[in-house]
Structure 1
Amino acid sequence: MKNRVVITGIGAVTPLGNDIWSTWENIQKGNSGIDIAQSVHLDKVDVKLAGEVKNFKPEEFVDRKEARRMGRFSQLAIAASKMAVADAGLQIGENVNPEKVGVWIGSGIGGLGEFEEQHKKFLEKGQRRVNPFTIPMFIPDMAAGRVSIELGAKGINNASVTACASGSNSIGDAFRAVQNGNADVIIAGGTEATITEMTIAGFSNMTALSTNPDPLTACRPFDKNRDGFVIAEGSGIVILEELEHAKARGAKIYGEIVGYGATGDAHHITSPAPEGEGAARAMKGALADAGITPNEVDYINAHGTSTPLNDLNETLAIKNVFKEHAYQLAVSSTKSMTGHMLGASGAVEAIFSLLTIRDSILPPTINYQTADPELDLDYVPNVAREKNVQVVVSNSLGFGGHNATLVFRKYSE
C-alpha cells in the first residue's frame, strides 16, 4: 500500500512578495507584481516589462561569501526552502532523520544571467577573468544541491528540468518518492531567475512575449486581446511529508497531494498539441491516480500564460476532461498577477492551490476585460471569490511538450 503524502510547510519568493504570506495577500487583492524591468538594459530589448523579485537580500538566508558563488536562482531557492522548513517546524537531524530528507527542486533554465556575465568577461578580458565558480553558478541542478548543503538534507537529491513544467514535475516526482517510501520528507519545488537581455530577446523573437507596454494590463490570460506572456522570476517550495511521519511530530497540514499526471505532446518544440491533447491526458492521468472523478474538482489553477495558443488549447483540454462540469468549476490564472516564472511557476501555483483549499478563496484572473467567444469558462474575472474548495487541479505546460498536473485535496483522516 502506498504512503499518503501531505504538505506541512510552504515558502516562496515572488514578484508579489519576498515571502508567501505577503504574496498570498496580494493575490487575494488582485494586485500585480509586473512593472518596467530594472535588471536589464532596456535599450537593448523591445519588451520592457517583467515580474521581478524586489529588494531581495540573499545574505539574510545564506553566508554573504557563499551567496556570491551561486546563481540568483539558487539564492531564491535557498530562501524559499528555509522559509518552508521553518514553517513546517522541521529540525533536520533532531526531529527528522537527515538521510530520509530529500530535495527535489527544478529550474527550467538555471543561471543564464550568470553565464551571460562570465561569457562577456571571457570575450573582453580573457580566460583568467572568468569566475572559477561559473559552472556551478548556472547548471540547473545546483539549486537542489545548494539547498541540500545548506539544510543538511542527505536523502534523494534531484531536479526535474522540463521548462515551464519543472516546478510541478519536481513536486510530482518527489510525491512519488515519498509515496513509495524512498523518503520521509522531501523539500520540493521550482526556482527561476532569468530576466536577462538574451532571455527577453529569445522569447521576444519567437513572439511569445506580450508587446503591450502597460504593466497593469499586459498579462491578461483568457482575454480576447491577450498577446503573450510576461517573463518573471521567483521560487516556490513545499514540504512533502509522509502522513504518519507528519502526525508523529504533530505537524500542521495544509492539504494532501493525491494525484500526479505527466505526459508528452510529441508534437512541437513550443506549440501545444491541437486541442490540448497532451494536457488533457495529464489531467486524466492525475485524476485517475488520485481516484477522483472530474465532477469532484472545484477549482483549476490553470497554466494560463496569456498567449493565444496556450489559453485556447488549455480551455479545450479542460472541456475534454470535465465535459459539462467544466462550466461548473472555477478556472483562473495567477500568472495574471505574478507573470510567468517559468520553472518556478508550477511550484508557486501549487502553493496557491493549497491556500485556496485552506482559505476557501478563489484567486482571480486579473486584467480580464474582453471575453473571447472560444474561451467561455468561469475564469474568476478580476476579483477573488469565496468558495468552499475540497479538490484543486494545478496545470503546468512546458516547451518541449511537457505536461504536468497535480491534484490536491483538503486533508481529512
Structure 2
Amino acid sequence: MPGNLPQQDRTKVVVTGLGETTALGGDVAGTWEAMLRGENGVRLLDGEQWTEDMPPMIGGRVRTEPGPGLEHKQRRRLSRSAQLAVTAASEAWSDAGLDTAGVASGRVAVVVSAALGDLHAIIGGWEALRSRSWNRVPPLTVPMSMGNGAAGAVALLVNARAGVHATVNACSSGTQALVTAAELIRRGEVDVVVAGGTEAPLHPLVLASFGAMRALSKRVDDPASASRPFDAERDGMVLGEGSGILVLESEEHARGRGARIYAELAGVGVSSDAYDMVQPDPSGAGTAAALRASLADAGVRPEEVAHVNANGTATLPGDAAEAQGLRSVFGGTGRGPAVSANKSMTGHSLGAAGAVESIATILALHHGLVPPTRNFTRPGDGVLVDVVHGGPRKLGDEQNVAVKNSAGFGGHNVALTFRRLPRPLTEPDVEILP
C-alpha cells in the first residue's frame, strides 16, 4: 500500500513527459492555451452514426483527428481509443526526450486505462455479423475492443518490456493508472512508466445509456454552456473523448539523464464509498478519505495545498458530494485551495479524464496559473469551495502543491498530490501565457 516507507527512504516519482489530445487541442500546448482562455470544446454531434430519428446529442470530440500522425497499419489495426492513446503517448515520449535517449526496454512499463474499452469495435463487429454473415466480422474485432488494447498499442510504440497494465476503475481509471505507475517505480521494479488514460465514448449507445440515467445535460441547444460544474444551474454532464499520457520516472533516473522535470508525484490515495454503484456517498466521506491518504502519503498538510483540480462532472449529486469532501479536508470558501473543473471545457472523457486533468494540474504548478472553470456563475447549494472562474488565477511563488481528485461509478475515489520541485539553473525557463 502507498506510504509504507518513510518519505526520506522512498524513491521519488517525477513527471518528465506530457502528451494529450482533447476537445480543446491536439496536443498539450493547444489544450493548455485553450484552457487558460476558458474555451469551449463541446459541440453538436453529427455524422453517419447520428441519424435523423435520434434526438440532438452533444459531446467533446477531439479537436484534431488522430489519423494523420499514425502509420497506415496503425490506422487499420487500432481502435479509435487506442489511436488516441498512441497519439498522446508519442507526444509524451518525445516530450520526455526518450525518443532519442537510450533507455533499457526491460526497465520500461506501461499503464494505460479506459473505462469502456472501445464500443465502436464491438458494435461494428456485431453489426457486420447481423447484416452480412459470421465470416465477414472484422478479424481484429476482439483485440480492438479489449480493455487493454490501448495499453498494448502504447507498449509497442515505446518498446516496453517490463509489463503492460490496464486498470479499470470507471471514470477514475486514468488517475488510478498513475497510482499503479508510481507504485511500480517506488518498488524499484522499473525506471520509467508511460501511464494515463484514453476513451472514445461518443457513440449513440453510450449517450443513450447516460441519458436514460438522467445524467446528461439537457442543454443540447446551447452546447457551449451545457457543462456547468459546481454551478447552481448545472443539470448534468457532457461526454467527451480524448487521451492523456504521462511519462513517470524515478528521480534518480530522470536526473541521471538530465531530463526536464515538471513535478513530483508525491502522494497517492485511494478509497471506496461502498454506498451505491452509481450515486456517490452524499457525505463526501470517500472523497475526503482518498484526499487525506494522498496528503499523508506526500507528507503534506492540507493548508499547503494551493490548488485542487476537481472531478467536477456537473451532476447534481456528484458535485455536491465532492464539495462536501473538499470542505471537510480543506475548509470552506476563503480558506481552501483554488478549485478548477476542466470538464466544463473538455466534456467528461471517462477513463481519460483523470489523466488529462492530471496534466492540467501539473501545468498549473509548472506555469503558476490555475485555469478557470467555464460556465460557473454562482455556486450551487452546499458548494462552499473556491471555484476559479472568469479567467486564470496566478499562484504565488511559494505555492508548490496541487491535488487532482477523481471519482467513478462503483464508488472509486482516487487522489494524487503533485509537488513543484526547485528548477535547476540549467533548465530553460518556460513561457507563462498571460
Relative to the length of structure 2, the TM-score reads 0.92
Match of 2:108 in 1: 101
Match of 1:248 in 2: 256
Deviation at 1:326, TM superposition (A): 7.0
Instruction: Write the deviation string for residues 6-42 of structure 1: whole angstroms up to 9, x where unpaired.
Output: 1001000000011010000000000011111135415
Residue 49 of structure 1 pairs with residue 61 of structure 2:
no
Deviation at 1:59, TM superposition (A): 4.2
Match of 2:89 in 1: 81
Structure 2 distance, partners of 1:148, 1:327, is 44
Which amino acid is 2:387 matched to? Y
Q: Which runs of 5+ in 2 are unaligned?
A: 1-8, 424-434
Pick the aligned partner of 2:181 from 166, 174, 179: 174
Residue 374 of structure 1 pairs with residue 377 of structure 2:
no
Q: Is contact 1:295–1:325 with CA below 8 Å preserved after alignment? A: no
Match of 1:36 in 2: 44
Instruction: Write the deviation string for residues 325-361 of structure 1: whole angstroms up to 9, x where unpaired.
Output: 8733111101101110100000010000010001111
Deviation at 1:324, TM superposition (A): 5.2
Structure 2 distance, partners of 1:350, 1:30, is 17
Residue 58 of structure 1 pairs with residue 67 of structure 2:
yes
Structure 2 distance, partners of 1:370, 1:38, is 32
Match of 1:12 in 2: 20
Aligned in 2, Cα 1:53/1:151: closer, same or farther, shift over 3 Å? same
Identity between Structure 1 and Structure 2 (%)? 39
Residue 283 of structure 1 pairs with residue 266 of structure 2:
no
| Matched residues, number | 411
| Matching of residues 296-307 of structure 1 within 5 Å | 296-307=304-315
Instruction: Write the deviation string for residues 205-248 of structure 1: whole angstroms up to 9, x where unpaired.
Output: 00111011211110011111101100000000110000011011
| Matching of residues 143-292 of structure 1 within 5 Å | 143-213=150-220, 214-292=222-300
Q: Which runs of 5+ in 1 are unaligned?
A: none
Which amino acid is 1:366 matched to? R
Structure 2 distance, partners of 1:286, 1:45, is 44
TM-align CA RMSD: 1.5
Q: Is contact 1:45–1:201 with CA below 8 Å preserved after alignment? A: no
Deviation at 1:264, TM superposition (A): 1.1
Q: Is contact 1:47–1:211 with CA below 8 Å preserved after alignment? A: no
Match of 2:370 in 1: 362
Q: Is contact 2:326–2:385 with CA below 8 Å preserved after alignment? A: no
Q: Is contact 1:69–1:137 with CA below 8 Å preserved after alignment? A: yes
Instruction: Write the deviation string for residues 136-190 of structure 1: whole angstroms up to 9, x where unpaired.
Output: 1011111111111122111121011111000000011101111111110000000
Structure 2 distance, partners of 1:199, 1:306, is 18
**3-state SS in 2 of match to 1:397:** strand
Which amino acid is 1:338 matched to? T
**3-state SS in 2 of match to 1:68:** helix
Match of 2:350 in 1: 342
Structure 1 distance, partners of 2:136, 2:180, is 39
Instruction: Write the deviation string for residues 94-125 of structure 1: whole angstroms up to 9, x where unpaired.
Output: 52111001100010001111111111111111
Deviation at 1:91, TM superposition (A): 3.6
**3-state SS in 2 of match to 1:43:** coil
**3-state SS in 2 of match to 1:275:** coil
Which amino acid is 1:239 matched to? V
Aligned in 2, Cα 1:215/1:289: closer, same or farther, shift over 3 Å? same
Instruction: Write the deviation string for residues 263-284 of structure 1: whole angstroms up to 9, x where unpaired.
Output: 1111111100121111111101
**3-state SS in 1 of match to 2:248:** strand
Structure 2 distance, partners of 1:47, 1:162, is 29
